[in-house]
Amino acid sequence: FSDQKQMRWQHMDVQRTFPKRTSFSHKGSHGKGAVVGGQLSMPGSVALTARAALRSGAGLLTVATVKDNIPVVANQCVEAMYHVWRDDQGILIDDSVSSLNHYDAIAIGMGMGRADESQKLTLRIVNEINRPVIVDADGLYHIKSDLEVVRARLAPLVITPHLGEMAMLTETTIAEIKQAPFSITKQFAQKYQVYVVLKGKFTIITTPRGEQVVTDTGNPGLAKGGSGDVLSGVILAFMMQHNERLPAIANACYLHGLTADMSITSGRHTETDLLASDVIDELSVAFRTIV
């Protein structure tokens, strides 16, 4: 991307925009977040997102998932609160959506599965919840079924597709996106008025107005199931603590990748053994470079 240098989101940009915690802050100052996802066969996804959000400074965090997953998730995430979401044989169904208006930001879709009932739930959240929402993983598949709901929505929506998910959303191929990642994401972001985080070796963040920045931290140690769930948690927490949305998202992508890089340069991990949960535990190493 030699012609895109001016858009590279750098360490000094993170330092300039990262919010400070004031000495009088209380948990309410740092936001109340919710993570909605995790069907019965995928309890780990929401645990990763929730734990990453807590490690990224979220004041209060609630996990809304199916009843039978709660003991598993709570075991990984003792600081979180839990909302027993109604389910049908381990699949999240459309229910009590309005309760989500009590949160400052919501992440949805991780480990959710692709059932019709979960699709209805996802679309209702996008349609009815007047708070910043982050849609990832299976949630991206669900919103594809009705992008007009996305377009009509007024509150901020952040989508976090990898190349395959971006190809699905734009009805094109991975090869075509690789040819023109900036213009394809910009077109989509402007058409549907969303923030797009196109993930990969380079991550391109695009605003609904078409502004774009790139983060180039991260390494193939992140190319494992769960890395995306962790990133969504960091974005969720930063959306609640930054005043501006582009720096919140860009800082999350930058620091998620930097954590993975520093886990390796420190000698504590290799690209082979690094796990998504290790990235959560190592976030402090990257955070310490900016405070």
Residue 87 in the binding site for ligand APR (CB under 6 A): no
Q: What, of ligand APR, Mg ion, none, does residue 242 touch, CB below 5 to 8 Å by kind? A: none
Q: What, of ligand APR, Mg ion, none, does residue 225 touch, CB below 5 to 8 Å by kind? A: ligand APR
- Footprint of ligand APR on residues 123-182 (CB under 6 A)? 137, 162, 165
The crossing angle, in degrees rounded to 10, of helices 181-192 and 163-170 is 50
State the binding string over 252-291 for ligand APR (x if CB under 6 A, else -): ----xx----------------------------------
Beta carbon of residue 277, minimum distance to Mg ion (angstroms, whole number): 15
Which of 38, 132, 161, 228 touches Mg ion (CB under 5 A)? Answer: 228
Which of 231, 249, 252, 274 touches ligand APR (CB under 6 A)? Answer: 231
Residue 203 in the binding site for ligand APR (CB under 6 A): yes
Beta carbon of residue 43, minimum distance to Mg ion (angstroms, whole number): 16
Which of 227, 241, 259, 263 touches ligand APR (CB under 6 A)? Answer: 227
Beta carbon of residue 268, minimum distance to ligand APR (angstroms, whole number): 18
Beta carbon of residue 53, minimum distance to Mg ion (angstroms, whole number): 16
Of the two residues 28 and 225, which places its CB atom closer to ligand APR in the complex? 225
Give just the sign of the alpha carbon dihedral 176, 185, 259, 61. negative
Beta carbon of residue 84, minimum distance to Mg ion (angstroms, whole number): 25
d(CA 216, CA 8): 8
| Helix (H) or strand (E) segment spanning residue 286 | helix 276-287
Beta-sheet strands, E only, within 79-194: 81-85, 87-88, 91-92, 105-108, 133-135, 157-159
Residue 220 in the binding site for ligand APR (CB under 6 A): yes
Short-list 263, 267, 287, CA closest to 275: 263
Total residues interacting with ligand APR, rule: CB under 6 A: 21
Which of 218, 248, 264, 283 touches ligand APR (CB under 6 A)? Answer: 218
Of the two residues 30 and 69, which places its CB atom closer to ligand APR in the complex? 69
Summarize the chain as % helix, strand, coil (round to 5).
50, 15, 35
Contacts of 25 (CB under 8 A, 6+ apart): none
3-state secondary structure of 213: strand
Contacts of 221 (CB under 8 A, 6+ apart): 260, 263, 264, 269, 270, 271, 272, 274
d(CA 219, CA 217): 7
Residues that bind ligand APR (CB under 6 A): 137, 162, 165, 199-201, 203, 218-220, 222-229, 231, 256-257
Residues that bind Mg ion (CB under 5 A): 137, 228
